[in-house]
Structure 1
């Protein structure tokens, strides 16, 4: 593998990146060429808000090619284009061989939900203090336990016993919330998602954790449940309010996540015709909202 490295002014970044993709670059990354200097710029604003500007004054663009000839040909073709004015080819260099599997694995360590409840990738041993463990490897579906919204849902679930209770994980992703409910006693568990890849991921993760559940598309969810979990985002949660509330049995619990702190009022209002939502936890600008049906 070979890297073509370019220095590109802000106005040309989009055209250069589009051209590199058309020239069969296997990947293209863009970063601040002035990073770690006094001229470095921060482009990231508050959660759910656009960045203050479209790009850096000068960007370092790195394109990955399978062959050195392909990288050098791309450099030559780019230099002949009008939009390349002001750009500089910094070089073509081989990419050092790496054990990408081990490198990826090293980025995922066990995640503490509470002192005795942990999410542990398959290549790690559980901590000695762990009494409840979910084995979960990073995959295509959302939900590895590293995000605040997932941790808050699991912490809330871990505070209660769910033996003999019926549980719905709506928007299950990796199935981690459904598996967490099983760890605390639930045996009648339904996990649904609009993404077939998430459904398959949930099935595989349930098998790996020796958990029995039903996983499928949303129409699998029928009837009422003692616990309804939905870790999605605020806008779809508002749309789904009547459906989710219809699935909560009398005396049952509704647990919602994927909500920014500033969106709590919107969710309270959207669900008010059915339940009284309240903030039960908060972490890193996100909140967990829960309700118990009368």
Structure 2
């Protein structure tokens, strides 16, 4: 593929070619998800933790319109501090590419570009899912349909609790997206360890996940294995506080007439402000845990 349409760093390209472990990381967490300068600190810390585990980090984003797998430190810092950086989902990549925009890639875009580069494991914070009221709005994240077509392993802490978790789990089943809990059958709700909904299967180790992937690939099932990795109970947002703040946020959104694309940013901002920033701390803990597990899975897949 011409370099102007997909740039892969020499380090990532060599690791994939040699069969060494590589872990994909998204860029929206530092372009849109965290405030400055914490965004850069979290992004670079994640890369350091991945390297310390013997894995090559492949942070993904768009630089001057070029989809890039394996951003350099300078590129991460540039995207993190660009006021004009755009959020890029899969459908947006060609437009952002033609316009030569800087972009933070969502789960859908990151997963697609990782697959093009031959990277097999991707750690993120939380997945997109089915939004509340989707039975009338049909509002559903592009993450789900995209992951249904890609043979990846994606580690997340479930979907954010502002979404409709039971409907999301139903859609995952319909789309043939297998979900396993890491050492639990309680489906996490991002900020909290247990969303109140159960999943059928748990896995106990990265090696067991690798065996699931081997069976999937042998059977030519080309969909993502979703690994639900709950935040540690002592790091989660207090469940009582979570439930109270979420109810307030949903009521405030309805009163303000917030809908469509404005809903998620409004709710997340409300939760952050109302918890005094505690939700951001949980966000970082979630990401750290998922990056650590993703690195272990990448190693197990190449063992």
TM-score by length of 1: 0.26
Larger Rg: 1
More helix per residue: 2
Structure number having the greater strand percentage: 1
